[in-house]
């Protein structure tokens, strides 16, 4: 009986830790995409001569960041 209780509480604690790790890593991935990969992608598009693709992406990203910063 004590073994089942121990297993239950162990799974409960490590399940919460796992969910915390998933949420933390998702936050880190969003930061990396926003700060590193999106500007790098836009710079590569401009240097490759795809300015007409980079400009709408920049406008959409700017609009999303403007709307999301108001909340």
Give pTM, 2 decimals.
0.53
Domain carrying residue 45: 2-69
Task: Please state the domain count of the chain.
Answer: 1
Q: What is the mean pLDDT of each run of 10 residues along the chain (71 residues)?
A: 87 87 86 85 87 86 79 53
For residues 58 and 42, the answer to whether their CB atoms sit within 8 Å is: yes
- The 10 Å CB-count burial string (b at 16+, else e) for 45-59 is beeeeeeeebeeebe
- In this prediction, residue 1 carries a pLDDT of 85
């Amino acid at each position: 009986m004590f073994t089942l209780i121990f297993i239950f509480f162990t799974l409960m604690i490590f399940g919460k830790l796992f969910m915390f790790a998933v949420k933390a890593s998702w936050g880190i991935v969003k930061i990396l995409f926003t700060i590193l990969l999106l500007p790098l992608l836009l710079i590569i598009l401009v240097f490759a001569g795809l300015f007409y693709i980079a400009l709408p992406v920049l406008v959409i990203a700017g609009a999303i960041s403007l709307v999301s910063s108001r909340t």
